[in-house]
Amino acid sequence: MDTLTVVGHPLAGHLLAGLRDAATEPERFRHLARRLSTVLVLEATRGLGTTTTTVTTPLQDTPARILARPVVAVPILRAGLGLLEAATDLLPDVRVGYAGLERDEQTLQPTSYYLKVPRLDDASVLLLDPMLATGGSAAFGATVLKEHGATDLQLVCVVAAPEGVARMAAEHPDVRIVTAALDDGLNDVGYILPGLGDFGDRLFGTF
């Protein structure tokens, strides 16, 4: 799976352990999610292109490297909001879009109920979706962003199931996936095992 990157940093594993723990309360869950998201976004931006410019220090001019393209972060609502703060902290000039997806009760397929994105065709785009389970939401989100101009797209998630990774590889082989863990698989109702439960509910305390 050439498009899959499982972050091996010790801090990623340590922070993920706290997120998996059923005893972790929402306030601490949010804190851990923010810290782990920072590690994931750092990995996702590792390969961004740079260009050379000149900046003036208090003493003299000096060459400097800056990002060659803008970066856009697009969380899938609502759980993706738990990953957004890391992107805005690390990238103060980041553009932010929002994608609201829900499952159609008749077709069981994801549909878009809200989409607000900036220009995407000139940018490196980070799609933020914490749980890559069946891959339905992430694949649909990637399709929607491509329809709006995205050509350089990465998916950032906390944990991924093999089923979701396989679906993304089949439908979007050009999209790199950055995650803290590749878990065992899905149970009979589509939850990732061992996973960490419903990320959105644990993030916002809506049990």
User: Which residues participate in catalysis according to the annotation?
Assistant: 103, 107, 198, 201
Q: What are phi and psi of 68, to 5 degrees?
A: -80, -25
* 3-state DSSP of the chain: CCCEEECCCHHHHHHHHHHHCCCCCHHHHHHHHHHHHHHHHHHHCCCCCEEEEEEECCCCEEEEEEECCCEEEEEEECCCHHHHHHHHHHCCCCEECEEEEEECCCCCCEEEEEEECCCCCCCEEEEECCEECCCHHHHHHHHHHHHCCCCEEEEECCEECHHHHHHHHHHCCCCEEEECEECCEECCCCCEECCCCCHHHHHHCCC
